Amino acid sequence: MQFKAMVLSNVELSPGYFRMKMTAPQELASSAPGQFLMLKVNDAIDPLLRRPFGLFDVGSFLPEYAGCGAQIYCEILYKVVGKGTKLLSALHHGDLVDLLAPLGRGFDLGPAGEEKVLVGGGVGLAPLYYLAKELKNRGEKVRLFAGGRNRDDILCITEFERLGVETYVATDDGTLGERGFVTQVLEPHLAPGTRIFACGPTPMLNAVAKMAQKSGVPCQVSMEAYMACGVGACLGCVMKGANHTEETPDYRCVCKDGPVFDSFELQWS
Amino acid sequence: MQRPDMSVAIAGIEMRNPVMTASGTFGYGAEFADYLNLESIGAMITKGLSLKPKAGNPTPRIVETSGGMLNAIGLQNVGIDAFIDQKLPYLKNVNTPVIANLYGNTLEEYGEVASRLDGLAGVAGIEVNISCPNVKQGGIVFGTDPRAAQEVVSLVKKNTSKPLIVKLSPNVTDVVVMAKACADAGADALSLINTLTGMAIDLERRRPVLANVTGGLSGPAIKPVALRMVWQVAKAVSLPIIGIGGIMTGRDALEFMLAGATAVQVGTASFLDPSAAQRIAREMEEYLVEHGIASVRSLIGALEV
């Protein structure tokens, strides 16, 4: 659906990373972790296109106005990378943005009783928080493996811990957690009976998908792509499906078929 | 005052208002059904259909530019048979004319796709794409050579009894020459413009952003070029014209009508506002009310120069 949302807060968490909270209609309460929204940062034609963001959190709050009932909110976690996100970072409480949400296919939470393993790189932690919240609501055991170049890339770890998630951290420079790739920290923890949910840079997802396949562990990945429409019409955001060849092409639309895919659905390099 | 008469007709296709959705920007219609009332717009044009399903180009396929976007989708589509089996049944239940956009990899394929659509209930007309800048065959080759265009249009005309719209490319020296060639070959209407060939460069990687290197530029950035071409063609040929290019608002659409267009197509605007086509039709009507104009048709070609 398309709606106007009011910015409730827009806070810089660590250099270049922001967390923005917005009002949302009741319908968003039934969105699934892994789904995303598309946001128009202003009414101008530059930037022209909407920007896609995974849902970091959806919940309800009680506004401070007398007599007001509970109101739904949604949150995004984003990194300032270009013109659109730069403008976004300058929005304040009370500003209005135009949203399409909830869009795409979210995570399949899987059967109860498994150990849920969340793997996130940088801003890829965004959809995993909403997922962790849902999983903990179901009483599941959840572990989070978070990676980044340095400590500034590791976001909202305390929030995950507050949910009761066991967290493991790896940074390239060792400024937080273990030094090295998150996949190295992850590998010893993979065993039958676990299920992976991953979001982050493609090389990280590539490594996680291969590791999952080797260990025989089911793995879902949340992909990122350039998008124009977000509703499966423009076909701008496709990726290669597992059986893609030059002769028998198999493209999957990230916005409509994803952004969450079973790792075996996609072709990894 | 009564509500203004917004209806127009293109080559016998009756539309409740002049706003159509442009091929390649509206999927097969159903994708947008949650965001606007499909029965509030003038007509829908399908994604370009080919004889066999087509995979399209490698990624990245799109990039944003100042006031516009570049795409190199490469005409990915389900193919004519899957369109008829899977997409048309839904569209038949929508009370809005559906125009099938088609293209071929060869001259013969253009004729074959047109003949498969002929006689099909639920398809009000066809739009022939001779202007896609992103594929070697099936597009720009036929759209930049007047003789090749004439051949394609003549052949399609032989294979269809439906109203035939030809979509022109702006990537030519003189669009009027192409327009006349298509008119002479039997086109019932012309739509213009398709995207302008452009490119974007990633300065950090020192590489083109698009995998296809070049792409088609659309969006508000191309509106002045489109308006100029519609105006030139409208003066030179007597066929109805559908104006396309960067239309974001009702006022944009009305400018195209003043320049000589009978109807317009909304493309890129649907990406950033999925309800754009419906909104634009409403804004056009509001303008007519504000100015006491009884019929939108009275604005066609009413530009004073």
Q: Chain A residue closest to B247 (CA)?
A: A45
Question: What's the mean per-residue pLDDT of chain B?
Answer: 94
What percent of chain A has pLDDT above 90? 84
CA distance B303 to chain A (A): 26
Q: Which of A45, A238, A256 sits opposite B59 (nearest CB)?
A: A238
Cβ pair B219:A45 closer than 8 A: yes
β-strands A141-148, A115-121 pairing = parallel
Residues B190 and B237 sit within 8 Å (Cβ to Cβ): yes
- Say whether pLDDT at B136 is over 70: no
Q: How confident is the model at residue B140 (pLDDT cuts 50, 70, 90)?
A: low
**Percent of chain B surpassing pLDDT 70:** 96
Instruction: Provide CB contacts within 8 A for A203, sequence distance 6+.
Output: none
Q: Is the pLDDT of residue B107 over 80?
A: yes
Q: What average pLDDT does the segment B287-291 reach?
A: 97
Which residue intervals of chain B are DSSP H helices? Answer: 80-82, 88-92, 107-117, 141-144, 146-158, 175-184, 223-236, 250-258, 269-272, 276-290
pLDDT tens, position by position, A46-93: 999 999 999 999 999 988 877 888 999 999 999 999 999 999 999 999
pLDDT (0 to 100) of residue B137: 57
Q: In A, which residues are within 8 Å of B268 by CB distance?
A: 48, 228
Quote the mean pLDDT of chain A.
93
Candidates A40, A48, A226; nearest CB to B219: A48
- Residue with structure tokens 């070697």? B136
Can you give the pLDDT at residue B105? 87
Specify the range with the lowest mean pLDDT, choosing from A225-229, B137-141, B262-266, B281-285: B137-141
The pLDDT of A181-199, averaged and rounded, is: 91
Question: Which of A80-84, B59-63, B134-138, B217-221 is predicted least confidently?
Answer: B134-138
CB A3 within 8 A of CB A22: no
pTM (2 d.p.): 0.93
Q: Which residue of B has its CA nearest to A251?
A: B55
Residue B215, amino acid: G
Asked if residue A140 has pLDDT above 90, the reply is yes
Contact A53, A89 (CB under 8 A): no
Inter-chain residue contact A235 with B31, CB threshold 8 Å: no
Span B13-39, mean pLDDT? 96
What is the nearest CA distance from B222 to chain A, expressed in angstroms?
12
Residue in B22, B49, B132, B261 annotated catalytic: B132
By residue count, chain B amounts to: 305
The whole-angstrom separation of Cα B240 and Cα B243 is 10
ipTM associated with this complex: 0.91
Q: Do B59 and A234 touch (CB under 8 A)?
A: no
User: Which tens digits make up the pLDDT trace of B184-217?
Assistant: 999 999 999 999 999 999 999 999 999 999 999 9
Arithmetic mean of pLDDT, A8-12? 96
- When pLDDT is averaged across residues A264-269 and rounded to a whole number, the result is 90
Q: What is the pLDDT of residue A68?
A: 81
Task: Report the residue of B26, B271, B275, B278 to disrupt the A interface, i.e. the one with the largest count of A CBs within 10 Å.
Answer: B271
Mean pLDDT of the B211-230 span: 97
For range B12-20, the mean pLDDT: 98
Quote the crossing angle between the two packed helices B175-184 and B223-236, to the nearest 10°.
50
- Which of B77, B163, B74, B73 has its CA nearest to residue B114? B163
**Min Cα separation A250/chain B (Å):** 7
What is chain B's alpha carbon radius of gyration, rounded to the nearest angstrom? 18
Can you give the C-alpha Rg of chain A in angstroms? 18
Whether a cis peptide bond, with omega within 30° of 0, leads into A47 is yes
Q: Are A226 and B32 an interchain contact pair (Cβ–Cβ within 8 Å)?
A: no
Among partner residues A231, A235, A250, which is closest to B32 by beta-carbon distance?
Answer: A231
The yes-or-no verdict on residue A153 having pLDDT over 60 is: yes
- SS3 state of residue B26: coil
Which residue does chain B place closest to A250, by CA atoms?
B55
Band (B133; pLDDT cuts 50, 70, 90): low
Q: Is the pLDDT of residue A4 over 60?
A: yes
Q: How far is B237 from chain A (nearest CA, A)?
A: 32
Structure confidence at residue A255 (pLDDT): 96
Which residue among A47, A49, A232 sits closest to B27, beta carbon to beta carbon?
Answer: A232
For A199-230, what is each residue's pLDDT tens digit? Answer: 999 999 999 999 999 999 999 999 999 999 99
Beta strands (DSSP E) in chain A are: 2-14, 17-24, 36-40, 51-54, 57-61, 71-79, 96-103, 115-121, 141-148, 166-171, 178-179, 194-199, 219-222, 238-240, 251-253, 260-262
CB proximity list for A186: less than 8 A, separation 6 or greater? A117, A119, A145, A168, A208, A211
* Per-residue confidence (pLDDT) for residue A63, from 0 to 100: 85
Specify whether B182 is catalytic.
Answer: no
- Please enumerate residues of B whose Cβ is less than 8 A from a Cβ of A: 24-27, 31-32, 34-35, 55-56, 59-64, 66-69, 71, 73, 76, 219-220, 248, 268, 270-275
Whether B276 has a pLDDT exceeding 90, the answer reads yes
Q: How far apart are CA B202 and CA A118, in angstroms?
A: 33
Nearest Cα of chain B lies from the Cα of A170 at a distance, in angstroms, of 27
pLDDT beyond 90 at B131: no
- Select from A18, A21, A19, A13 the least CA-distant residue to A95: A21
Find out whether B114 and B60 touch, Cβ atoms under 8 Å. no
Distance CA A99, CA B294 (A): 36
Q: What is the per-residue pLDDT for A110?
A: 93
